[in-house]
Amino acid sequence: MSFRLSQRDKDIIAFINQFRAVDRDSLVDLFFKQLKSPINACNSIMIRLYRLGLIERTQQYSPTVYLPVDAKIKKNSQKILHFLSILDIYKQMCTYSAPKQVIVEDKPTGRKGGIEPDLFCIFKGSPFWIEIQRNQYSEQKMQAKINLYEEFFFSDEWKALHWQPEDRSAIFPSVILITPVRYAVTSDHIRIIQVTSIHELMEKYKSSAKQQRDGKPKTSASSGGIKINLT
């Protein structure tokens, strides 16, 4: 069968391959919002791509969730909710500024037992590793996770990661914990930011920036250009 894919078709397929699970409404927001009937247009194109065998789908969720053709997760897997959580964080960032160098389920150490953040990106000029905690964990388990980041920090391997700037010193990303629970985790070497959402992160950023404009004492820390209130 011969068929021609539009650039948008290719972008949608690449996006699904990148994020592993993408719901219909997210596709509408990201690719069809400017059209007169965005939902109908999205449904029509996604059905076509599915019938062409270029994407998979699961109707265990409403609206439909689309998966890569070679998806290694079952169509009723809880892992799908995990990937949708990552997608939600990405979409929150897009409402402020499109993140760059996005890596889903980053494995910067390249080996088992190292850090495995849910998402890496450069957001508003600063690099972040993002951990999305949908479940509550013990303080010990969360501190162990932070300890792995410290181990990586001392390895200096992060200085050679492909996204590091070529014209200035390497930057170790801040670690954002997206969690409804605040954990008593600490580090003397890496910046840890605990928020419930990217929206809360940006509220802290705005509050910190306002304090500096008003000449109040600094209660923030800098990470490559973004000032974030850590309290």
The answer on pLDDT for 225 being more than 50 is no
| pLDDT mean across residues, the chain | 90
Let me know how long the chain is. 231
Q: Which residues of 26-39 are buried (b: 16+ CB within 10 A; e: fewer)?
A: bbbebbbeeeeebe
Contact between 230 and 223 under an 8 Å Cβ cutoff? The reply is no
Q: CA-CA distance, 182 to 165, in Å (whole number)?
A: 32
State the residue for tokens 């690099």. Answer: 127
Label residue 216 by pLDDT band (50, 70, 90): low
Q: CA-CA distance, 122 to 107, in Å (whole number)?
A: 16
Q: What is the pLDDT of residues 191-205, one digit of tens each?
A: 999 999 999 999 988
Neighbours of 123 (CB within 10 A): 27
Q: What is the pLDDT of residues 94-150, one digit of tens each?
A: 999 999 999 999 999 998 899 999 999 999 999 999 999 988 899 999 999 999 999
